[in-house]
Amino acid sequence: MIKVKTGVKPDYIIDSHAHLGYWPTLNQCKANLLESTKNNNIDFTLLSFDGSEFKENNSFLKPLTSLTAAKKVLSFINDNKEHFGLLIWIRPFFEKNAAEIELFIKKHRDIIYGLKVHPFLSRVRMTDERLCPYIEVAEKLNLPILVHTAKDKYSQLKYLIRVCKKYPKVKFIAAHCVLETDHNEIIAALLECKNLYCDTAWVDINFIKKLIDYKLTDKILFGTDNPIDGIRTLDEEIYQNYFNNSIRLTKSQINKIMYKNAIKLYDIKINN
């Protein structure tokens, strides 16, 4: 049996892209999240609640308002403050509640680290004016915004690039480096936009070598979508390769990707 070589392990792990939701039930999702993060030595996780605006063809999705969803995560985090933080999922198609979101953030600023936008599930491009009030809240409160990127007509990277240029003081994270592509499109965007970052959710670690070659190590955040595929999500080879540093990054490189970049971007305080 061939033993797979692994590189140095990170000193700490922050998953900057995870969720709560009805997968398949809220209680089971919570249990899966707690068990999987423990089993994989994840020290801190940023969560958003799936607040999708349009029902998909499945049985688990239960669309919720932004604040209802945020309060569900808040309740979970209050029992696990040392290990979890909140990203508020925005629902711009049906809601106009930026002022209420701002007040909620101010009230719970100690555990809220940013906003989450899912253009595909909201059917709203990042350039849509309905998002402007929320982006302005993020700018005012110095909060990053995690944005789902993919090739569908709502989630294309070109829209996020335009918004990055319009709001240069706001930091945006391109989730998935454009999902289900070769990810090469993200390279030019990261080089062009100083306020744009990316995460590793469903991104093969071998692509990370290319980002490093372009001197973009400081712009990569570890993220997983956990536990979207249940308790086994983090057992996928695509994530085990990060935990085991299968491409043998240096200690500095693996620590930046797995936690230091997230600490800096989201201003996370850890005891390490």
The sign of the torsion formed by the CA atoms of 212, 218, 224, 225 equals negative
State the pLDDT at residue 260: 98
User: What pLDDT score does 56 carry?
Assistant: 67
Q: At what angle do helices 157-166 and 185-192 cross, to 10 degrees?
A: 0
Where does the pLDDT of residue 84 fall: very low under 50, low under 70, confident under 90, or very high at 90 and above?
Answer: very high
Q: Write down the pLDDT at residue 55.
A: 72
pLDDT at residue 39, rounded to an integer: 97
Residue 2 has pLDDT above 50, yes or no: no
What is the per-residue pLDDT across 219-270, written as a single tens digit (0 to 9) for each? 999 999 999 999 999 999 999 999 999 999 999 999 999 999 999 999 999 8
The model's pLDDT over 118-161, given as tens digits with 9 standing for 90+, comes to 999 999 999 999 999 999 999 999 999 999 999 999 999 999 99
DSSP 117-132: E-HHHHT--TT-GGGH
Q: Is the pLDDT of residue 100 over 50?
A: yes
User: Do 122 and 53 meet the contact criterion of CB atoms below 8 Å apart?
Assistant: yes
CB 93 within 8 A of CB 124: yes
pLDDT number for residue 93: 96
- Angstrom distances, CA of residue 139 to CA of 65, 114, 131, 172, 188: 22, 10, 12, 11, 24
10 Å Cβ neighbour count for 63?
A: 16
Which pLDDT belongs to residue 5?
A: 62
Asked if 134 contacts 101 with a C-beta cutoff of 8 angstroms, the reply is: yes
Neighbours of 69 (CB within 10 A): 24
What integer pLDDT is reported at residue 191 of this predicted model? Answer: 98
Contact 247, 241 (CB under 8 A): yes
Query: Model pTM greater than 0.75?
Result: yes
Which two structure tokens, joined as six digits, stand for 1? 């049996």
pLDDT of residue 232: 95
**Above 50 in pLDDT, residue 1?**
no
